[in-house]
Amino acid sequence: MTTPNLLTESQMQSFIRAGYHTVKPALTPDFHGKVHESLQDLFAGHDNPGNEILSRVPTLSDLFGDPEIDGALTSILGPDYLIHRHRHCHNHDSGAAAQDMHKDYPIGGNVRDIYPRQVLILYYPQAVTPDMGPTAIQPGSQYCLTPPQVSDEMALCCDAGTVVITHYEIWHRATENISRDTRYMVKFVGMRTKEPGSNGSSEWQSDVHQSLDSAAPGGHVRKHVWNWYISEEAKDASPVVASNEENEPLNELIINGQEMEHLDHLFAVSAKTESEDKALIAALIYEAGEKYQKNLARADYTNPSQLEMVFGISAAGNRIVGPLIETLQHDQWWARAAAAAALGAMGHVAADATSALATALKDPDEWVRRNAALAIGNLGDIAATAIPDLVAALEDRRPVTRWSLSEDAFRENVMLALLKVVPEDNRMVYAELGDFVGDSSEYVACWAKHLSSPTRMIC
């Protein structure tokens, strides 16, 4: 196996700020030319194969053995990253119209994550010129649920073989193709399986926030994402005025004003040790009650717990875990779902919530169950006591709301959580999970294959 060429800290911080990183693979021009020819032949006589693109063009899997691509993915997602089952080849034909700015649908109908636990991997086997309808992205837009109005888009014109890795949540679109050629782009999804620092050591050491524009809007968010990478509690020295009045528990910060400024402010407030945790919890519950119906009505598979406070409150660290565990007992399902989502955003810092989240897997509401399963996965192998609850949850076949590609989102989150939680040296103890490789959900089946494989694979 070739040693991956890791990113520098400066490149990592650029990714946190701009939301993308461009890779020039070491693979030969002949490799990219053959892939391009294979795609042309495939689309000349067949429909788009969707998730089956690798079985139709097997040489595409060689991308992930390239030291430049592997190094960038290892840097961003950790050394145990996996390639998600979902992938798609975009064939942008001559004359194809421009798209509107959009985000890809949220995987599993889960909360869109500020932390880069998932990335888009965009591979262009042929050179892309401005007239070919290149992908356009809005750098720095990955932290916003609505596209920033002041962000200029950047067209991804590139040489043949270029790979662009973006935060999964970056705003992007295909532009109009006025050339005579089809522009191909193969999209993969990379995912983190272990949280930074979950093994007791940091992947990065520097606490210098170079190039993160601390004074600009979003500075607190970017600094906190970097602290997440270096496994440190948020450090905030900026003066922030917050209201702790009983009738105004940060509500105005949540509902009014610019999204990025609000999120930035919430991170700054939560990071202060003198913040009133009662006010933060009240703000989370308030926002959940205000937005859950609107989120469900968006018709784009948005999770009802897609809330600014879910991530803002994560900056409070371990001290807020207890109050969030209490909120898992709230009488309103949308408050419980928000608490589970917030614990999931925190990752292994929320280890004390393992038992409460395991109990939430049996909640009568699907969104509480779905968010709890995702949260347990983000805790990692320190949540091993929840394994029996996760295994039992695989038999829960109650209908749940569909996401764009599946109708079995809860069980998919459960199997993915098992993949993250079951220690690699103990997987044979749970050999019965291999029975799920033939599951009716291709995503459950894929994660089961990973659990049964002694080496990293792409299914």
DSSP 8-state class, residue 381: G
- Each residue of 230-263: pLDDT tens digit? 887 544 434 333 344 443 445 544 544 578 888 8
The rounded distance, in Å, linking the Cα atoms of 188 and 167 is 12
- Each residue of 192-209: pLDDT tens digit? 999 998 665 556 666 655
Q: End-to-end distance of the chain based on CA atoms, in angstroms?
A: 19
Strand partners, 21: 165
Give yes or no for residue 164 having a pLDDT over 80: yes
Domain 219-452 belongs to what topology? Leucine-rich Repeat Variant (1.25.10)
CATH of range 9-191; options 3.30.70.20, 1.10.630.10, 2.60.120.620, 3.20.190.10: 2.60.120.620
Residue 84 or residue 431, greater confidence: 84
Percent of the chain at pLDDT exceeding 70: 89
Percent of the chain at pLDDT exceeding 90: 75
- Are residues 409 and 370 in contact, defined by beta-carbon separation less than 8 angstroms? yes
Strand partners, 186: 89, 123
Query: In the prediction, which pLDDT does 251 show?
Result: 52
Strand partners, 82: 191
Query: In the prediction, which pLDDT does 234 show?
Result: 47
Residue 283 or residue 258, greater confidence: 283
Residue 431 or residue 37, greater confidence: 37
| Domain boundary assignment for the chain | 9-191, 219-452
Listed residue (453, 409, 459) closest to 431, CA to CA: 453
Mean pLDDT confidence for 415-421: 96
**Residues 6 or more apart in contact with residue 103 via CB below 8 angstroms:** 112, 169, 170, 171, 172
Query: In the prediction, which pLDDT does 267 show?
Result: 86
- Each residue of 121-159: pLDDT tens digit? 999 999 999 999 999 999 999 999 888 776 689 999 999
Listed residue (270, 261, 230, 322) closest to 13, CA to CA: 230
Query: In the prediction, which pLDDT does 149 show?
Result: 75
Query: In the prediction, which pLDDT does 241 show?
Result: 37
Mean model confidence pLDDT for the chain: 90
Mean pLDDT confidence for 368-395: 97
Query: In the prediction, which pLDDT does 434 show?
Result: 85
Of the ranges 127-131, 180-184, 455-459, which one carries the lowest mean pLDDT score?
455-459
Q: Report the amino acid identity of residue 343.
A: L
Mean pLDDT confidence for 82-103: 97
